[in-house]
Chains A and B, each alone.
Chain A
């Protein structure tokens, strides 16, 4: 694809991502939605997530936290799928009503900066898998060099993203195949190495973590809340192409709340099996693969390496299209390279992987209040009806125009929520639990709850309510 054609294509893709999708453009039923969503969701970081949970939970708790947290939050997070299918619009377009058009630009950017944390984990896993392959041949690579090798996957993925949609399509096919193959290998390994009774009777070593049982349960729950929240701002892209609300909602829900957690569960089992069979708790899936399955280590580690380049490529394409929609004056190529530099720095530092639980909570803290506010605004305040024309600022439809392009009611709810959660509940930057509230709500769960409650309370004030509901006489398309 030539440079000019690629630029034009990106513009078309960005425009298509912003405009309402017509009925004739809808292609997906339930199974299409489920398969594509699952392909996007089952990256290798699922195994890191599972290992994190297994460090805090016994086997029955691992099952409950892994699957029930998705059932609790994704059922709510997926509600925007309803308007995404009905009107063919993305979440970020709808959020213009809640945050203002410039508020959306800022928060879309911040959310994506947080999302890139996950890609640094994938890149570090690429480096780790190469190091494990080399170690298998007797070549020991120093940790600093491993970090530089990790950056190769970021650059490689970014180059694929720059190559355009054809390359992305093929990368996706290879990546999903590799990820499913890894899942099958890991699943087979886990249930053949140690007896199931040993897995079922596993108890985590909480004394070494300096937390009690309630805090351990809440920390694992916090991890799964963060995992569930991480999809919230990207999950609504695909359902715009669905033919029915039912196909869109349940396909999306099943992909993120059932299939992705299943791979997290496999990661958790792998960590338990590693602990039971070696007595050492390890959170790096590549080390576990090399240790638990030497006969398939080379194949599985190569699959991990390829899958992580693919994850970076698809992530770069999707996230930079969102950024392009927020900042149309910046070229797609520039955004890809800026993202590449940012993820490379995160990868080189190794901090995200070393403090995985904390970093994913930081990302979830930004998304949590938005989820809570969205629920209150869409379901309770607007009762699932809003002005499509006002969302696109059509002439004479100004219900969602705010001074300076910012709806300070929504933005204030997010900022106050973040401050309260950081000071009084849980600080993901330091990993410090600030109060017993953390054991009830988790930190990220608290941000969703408080964000929603604050927004509800503020929109009960008559003057604010009047501004929020200026769209009531502009509901022509319903």
Chain B
């Protein structure tokens, strides 16, 4: 079993490597949510809440 110190060292090394990679000028982050996605994220809870309120009076 690897010692906890080895674990910490490897973790820190991997983190540093990955952050450095993300800082490179050409690094492409994954495509972001679109405006339509955000609309749906707002509308779905509102519609669900309305249904839940209606359900209480059935």
Give the distance in Å from the alpha carbon of A69 to the alpha carbon of B49 in the complex.
Answer: 8
Cross-chain contact of B22 among A11, A69, A329, A477 (Cβ < 8 A): A477
Question: Does A246 lie within 8 Å of B45, measured CB to CB?
Answer: no
CB distance from A256 to the nearest CB of B (A): 13
CB distance from B47 to the nearest CB of A (A): 7
Cross-chain contact of B19 among A65, A72, A388 (Cβ < 8 A): A388
| In the complex, per-residue mask of B36-58: 1 if CB is within 8 Å of any chain A CB, else 0 | 01000100110111011011101
CB-CB < 8 A to A87: which residues of B? 22
Question: Does B32 lie within 8 Å of A394, measured CB to CB?
Answer: no
Closest to A78 in B: B41
Does A342 sit at the interface, judged by CB under 8 A? no
CB-CB < 8 A to B10: which residues of A? 11, 15
Question: Does B4 lie within 8 Å of A328, measured CB to CB?
Answer: yes
Question: Does A61 lie within 8 Å of B58, measured CB to CB?
Answer: yes
CB distance from B46 to the nearest CB of A (A): 9
Does A401 sit at the interface, judged by CB under 8 A? no
Selected interface stretch from A18-26, A127-135, A148-156, A175-183: A18-26
Chain A stretch 10-59: residues in CB contact (< 8 A) with chain B = 11, 14-15, 18-23, 26, 58
Closest to A6 in B: B1
Q: A71-B48, A72-B49 in contact; A217/B55 too (CB < 8 A)? A: yes
Give the distance in Å from the alpha carbon of A7 to the alpha carbon of B18 in the complex.
Answer: 23
| In the complex, per-residue mask of B6-45: 1 if CB is within 8 Å of any chain A CB, else 0 | 0110111011101101110001111111100100010011
Give the distance in Å from the alpha carbon of A245 to the alpha carbon of B48 in the complex.
Answer: 23
Question: Does A75 lie within 8 Å of B56, measured CB to CB?
Answer: no
Closest to A88 in B: B18
Does A82 sit at the interface, judged by CB under 8 A? yes
Does A419 sit at the interface, judged by CB under 8 A? no
Q: A8-B2, A65-B55, A477-B19 in contact; A244/B30 too (CB < 8 A)? A: yes
CB-CB < 8 A to B45: which residues of A? 71-73, 75-76
Cross-chain contact of B30 among A14, A242, A388, A477 (Cβ < 8 A): A242
Question: Does A75 lie within 8 Å of B41, measured CB to CB?
Answer: yes
Q: A19-B11, A68-B48, A244-B31 in contact; A60/B58 too (CB < 8 A)? A: yes
Give the distance in Å from the alpha carbon of A431 to the alpha carbon of B1 in the complex.
Answer: 45
Question: Does A65 lie within 8 Å of B4, measured CB to CB?
Answer: no
Question: Does B30 lie within 8 Å of A86, measured CB to CB?
Answer: yes
Interface size on B, residues (CB 8 A): 37
Question: Does B51 lie within 8 Å of A68, measured CB to CB?
Answer: yes
Give the distance in Å from the alpha carbon of A360 to the alpha carbon of B7 in the complex.
Answer: 35
Give the distance in Å from the alpha carbon of A69 to the alpha carbon of B21 in the complex.
Answer: 40
Does A338 sit at the interface, judged by CB under 8 A? no
Question: Does A60 lie within 8 Å of B14, measured CB to CB?
Answer: no
CB distance from B16 to the nearest CB of A (A): 7
Closest to B52 in A: A68
CB distance from B50 to the nearest CB of A (A): 9
Does A249 sit at the interface, judged by CB under 8 A? yes
Cross-chain contact of A86 among B11, B14, B29, B37 (Cβ < 8 A): B29
Question: Does A20 lie within 8 Å of B30, measured CB to CB?
Answer: no
Give the distance in Å from the alpha carbon of A243 to the alpha carbon of B2 in the complex.
Answer: 32
Closest to B47 in A: A71
Question: Does B27 lie within 8 Å of A23, measured CB to CB?
Answer: yes
CB-CB < 8 A to A19: which residues of B? 11, 14-15, 18
Q: A217-B56, A331-B1, A394-B16 in contact; A18/B31 too (CB < 8 A)? A: no
Does A64 sit at the interface, judged by CB under 8 A? yes
Closest to A245 in B: B33
Does A476 sit at the interface, judged by CB under 8 A? yes
Give the distance in Å from the alpha carbon of A58 to the alpha carbon of B32 in the complex.
Answer: 41
Which of B12, B15, B32, B51 neighbours the largest number of chain A CB atoms within 10 Å of its CB? B15
Give the distance in Å from the alpha carbon of A8 to the alpha carbon of B3 in the complex.
Answer: 10
Which of A71, A76, A85, A88 neighbours the largest number of chain B CB atoms within 10 Å of its CB? A71
Cross-chain contact of A69 among B2, B19, B33, B48 (Cβ < 8 A): B48
Cross-chain contact of B32 among A21, A221, A245 (Cβ < 8 A): A245
CB-CB < 8 A to A193: which residues of B? none
Does A1 sit at the interface, judged by CB under 8 A? no
Question: Does A20 lie within 8 Å of B19, measured CB to CB?
Answer: yes
Give the distance in Å from the alpha carbon of A250 to the alpha carbon of B37 in the complex.
Answer: 9
CB-CB < 8 A to A69: which residues of B? 48, 52
CB-CB < 8 A to A248: which residues of B? 30
Q: Ordered nearest first, which 6 A-B pairs have the shortest CB separation?
A: A71-B48, A64-B55, A72-B48, A68-B48, A7-B1, A68-B51
Q: Can you list 19 A-B contacts with CB-CB less than 8 angstroms, sorted by A residue number?
A: A11-B2, A15-B7, A19-B11, A21-B18, A23-B30, A61-B58, A71-B51, A76-B45, A82-B33, A85-B30, A242-B30, A245-B31, A245-B32, A246-B31, A246-B33, A329-B4, A392-B12, A392-B19, A394-B19
Known: A8-B2, A68-B48, A248-B30. 11 other contacts (CB 8 A): A7-B1, A7-B2, A20-B22, A22-B18, A23-B27, A23-B29, A60-B55, A64-B52, A64-B58, A214-B56, A250-B37
